[in-house]
Amino acid sequence: MSSKEIPAMFSEFEHGCLLDMAIECRRKGLSPSESRASISRRTRGFSAPFMIRQVVQTAFHPEHCPDLV
């Protein structure tokens, strides 16, 4: 495994975990902004804000990326 493959694998794993959190927030009835805040708190600044915004957008609007949800 090359050093370039490890960040890509980690990025995919992180995206999957964040998307699971965003879908969970949606199921609990949180708004998109509440979901972003919840995920930010739970990841304690580990994930970039733009990644959190992206997964929340995908979770709340699955028609934009149906293959990811």
The full set of domain ranges for the chain reads: 5-64
Measured N-to-C along each axis, helices 5-27 and 49-60 cross at an angle, to the nearest 10 degrees, of 50
Element holding 54 (H helix, E strand): helix 49-60
Q: In terms of Cα–Cα distance, which of 66, 65, 33, 63 is closest to 49? A: 33
> What's the angle, vertex CA 56, arms to CA 5 and CA 46, rounded to 5?
50
Q: pTM score, two decimals?
A: 0.79
8-63 residue pLDDT tens: 666 888 999 999 999 999 999 999 999 999 999 999 988 999 999 999 999 999 88
**Contact status, residue 59 vs residue 69, Cβ threshold 8 Å:** yes
